[in-house]
Structure 1
């Protein structure tokens, strides 16, 4: 079994802005710079042969470059926040790309995603953070914005099976332009 998800990678200039936020919240478990991403579709733990089908399905997804913009801070968990994130403005190209990922994964035989797509970059896990402190942090650092950036590819990542997942390993980028790192 391998744990997989697809995402957009965050460029260094934007990651630096996010890292500047990572202080002043006791008990937060800050996400490491290499693990910043915008999830498109979480597949979960899949058998190796299904991973091959996923790769094939992803290679057929058309993608034209488009701009991504981060704006605002938020949390998941409501009255007991567990995740702190920077929001991503939902554009039509991003919505379409995410929908193509969802459709491709259903064709492969994965169950439909049950959560609404809320594009974001996780910046901290808040398991040991008081609720009031989390909301005070969001207010103190708002409004938040980062320079927009252009995405030309999406990435298939693998993750270790644990809460919070990282470190994440980029397995393949699509479309594959044959670039070497």
Structure 2
């Protein structure tokens, strides 16, 4: 069974700039820049027939035009028990519409709703037992930066192997946005 999700690729220049935020944080397992992405909709482990239905519904996806995105801050998931350091995406109406359209399309073919709130981000590191003071210092030092802007021209269907977080991810198919 493939483990699938839809998402956006991160251009190599943006990935390189984000990779400079790596290092100096105890308990961090840093994600390789080639695995940086923005998840639109996690699909999960599904059978081949359902995977074919996913591809079919994504191929018939409604019109969406290319749009600009900006990665502009660092954040943490996990509250008092931080589990991930991420680079946050600035609010984008176009991105929110695209993600909502993915959610609706995948529910129409019978997939259950994704119960998580959509927080667009690029995971930089998985955290385990990271001292809160070290994390706060890292964010204070590296968390404010010149926004990294890029234009989204397509979304992709990714697959991943069962692993301990962070890839490797494989692009199964890409879906260009209308010009």
For 1:132 and 1:147, locate their aligned partners in 2 and report how far apart those are by CA, in whole Å: 27
Shift of 1:165: 4.5
Residue 2 of structure 2: aligned partner: 2
Residues 1:151 and 2:152 aligned together: yes
TM-score (norm 2): 0.94
Residue 102 of structure 1: aligned partner: 103
Residue 169 of structure 1: aligned partner: 170
Shift of 1:157: 0.3
Shift of 1:54: 0.2
Post-superposition Cα deviations, 1:76-134, rounded to whole Å, max 9, x if no partner, equal 00001000000001211100000010001101111101111000000000114222211
Q: Which consecutive unaligned segments of at least 5 residues does structure 1 have?
A: none
Q: Does the 8 A contact of 1:63 with 1:152 survive in 2?
A: no
Residue 120 of structure 1: aligned partner: 121
Q: Which consecutive unaligned segments of at least 5 residues does structure 2 have?
A: none
Residue 69 of structure 1: aligned partner: 70
For 1:144 and 1:5, locate their aligned partners in 2 and report how far apart those are by CA, in whole Å: 29
Residue 43 of structure 2: aligned partner: 43
Between the two proteins, the alignment pairs up a number of residues equal to: 177
Shift of 1:140: 1.5
Query: Could you list the runs of 4 or more consecutive aligned residues of structure 1 that deviate by over 3 angstroms after TM superposition?
Result: none
Post-superposition Cα deviations, 1:40-87, rounded to whole Å, max 9, x if no partner, equal 000010111000000011112222100010011000000010000000
For 2:91 and 2:5, locate their aligned partners in 1 and report how far apart those are by CA, in whole Å: 19
Shift of 1:147: 2.6
Shift of 1:176: 8.3
For 2:41 and 2:96, locate their aligned partners in 1 and report how far apart those are by CA, in whole Å: 12
Q: Does the 8 A contact of 2:7 with 2:41 survive in 1?
A: yes
Residue 92 of structure 2: aligned partner: 91
Q: Does the 8 A contact of 2:28 with 2:127 survive in 1?
A: yes
Instruction: Report the structure, 1 or 2, having the larger strand content.
Output: 2
Q: Compare 87-96 and 161-170 and name the one that shifted more.
A: 161-170
Report the RMSD for the aligned CA atoms in angstroms: 1.4
